[in-house]
Amino acid sequence: MKKIITLLVLSILISACSSKKEGNMIVQGQIKGLKKGTLYLQKMKDTLLVSVDSINLLGSDKFTLTDNVTSPVLYYLTFDGNTTDKRILFFGEQGVITINDNVDKFGYTPEISGSKNQELLDKYNKVKRQFQNQRLEFVKKDFDAKKANDIDLVAQLEKDNLKLSKRRVLYTTNFALNNADSEVAPYIALTEMYDASIKILDTVNNTLSNKVKNSDYGKRFQEYLNEIKKSEKK
C-alpha cells in the first residue's frame, strides 16, 4: 500500500513538473534577499494588466518565468502582485532575458540583459532623464523669477523652455527614425511624442519597417495616427 501511495505521489509531481508553462521568452534571474514571496510576470491586455506566469519563492531568490511572445511589448515583473511601488518594467521579446535586482530596492535599478529593445529603451531613457532634470531646473528658476517679480527673466525662461521642448521632440524623433526596425520606435512615438506635429508623426510611421508596422505597438501607432487625423478634419 505504501508503495502504491509513493508511486502515486511521484506521478503527481512528475505531472506537475511537466505541465510547467513553456514559451519562446524565458525571463530568469535573481532577486537578492527575496527568500519568500511570489513573483508575477504580467503584461497589458487591452486595458487590463494580466498575469501570464508566476513563481512562489521559498528559500531561494532565483526565478524562471516564461511567456509566448508574438510581438515585443512591455512586461511587468511584480512582487506579490504589487504594481504600484514594487515593479520592474522591461521590454519582452523572444529569447532569454536576465533580470537581477535587490528586494530592498526592488524596481529602482534592476540589471536587465538579453532584450535588444530594452537596451534601446535604456539608451533613450538616459537622455530623457537629462531633459527631465533640465525641466525641473527651469521650474525652479521660473518660480524664483516670478517670486522676485523679474519680468525680463520670466520672459527669457519661457523662451528657454520652448527651446528645451523643441530639442526633446527633435531628439525623440531622430531616435525613433534611427531605430525604425525596432519595436521601441513606435512605442516611444506613442508615449513620448504627444506634442509632435502630425507631419513628424507621419514621417516616423512611414520610416518603420514592415516588421515593426505589423507589431503590436506598430499597429497601435497607426490607429493613434488615424484618430488624430480624423479629429483634425472635424
Give tens-digit pLDDT for 86-98: 789 999 999 999 9
List Cα–Cα distances, 17 to 10, 13, 25, in angstroms. Answer: 11, 6, 18
Average pLDDT over residues 53-82: 90
Q: How far apart are CA 231 and CA 234, in angstroms?
A: 5
Query: Which residues 6+ apart lie within 8 Å of 196 measured at CB?
Result: 169, 172, 173, 189
85 — pLDDT class (breaks 50, 70, 90): low
Pairwise pLDDT comparison (15 vs 208), residue with the higher score: 208
Same domain membership, residue 130 and residue 58: no
Task: Note whether residue 143 is domain-resident.
Answer: yes
In a domain? residue 229: yes
What's the pLDDT score for residue 9?
A: 42
The domain total for the chain is 2
Residues 163, 183, single domain; the answer is yes
For 79, the 3-state DSSP assignment is strand
Task: Give mean pLDDT, residues 71-76.
Answer: 96
For residue 111, give the nearest of 90, 128, 126 by alpha carbon.
90
Query: Which of 60, 93, 112 finishes a domain?
Result: 112
Does 183 map to a domain? yes
- Hey, how many other C-beta atoms are within 10 angstroms of the C-beta on 177? 16
- Range with the lowest mean pLDDT among 7-16, 63-72, 114-123, 193-202? 7-16
Q: Pick the last residue of a domain from 112, 135, 159.
A: 112
| CA nearest to 47, candidates 206, 220, 230 | 220
Q: How far apart are CA 78 and CA 177, in angstroms?
A: 32
pLDDT confidence tier of residue 82, bands split at 50, 70 and 90: low
CA dist 189 and 192 (Å) reads: 6
Cell of 56: 512562489
Same domain assignment for residues 177 and 205: yes
Residues 81 and 151 in one domain: no
* pTM value > 0.75: yes
Q: Is residue 86 part of a domain?
A: yes
Cα end-to-end span (Å), the chain:
79
Angle at 99 between CA 50 and CA 52, to 5 degrees: 20
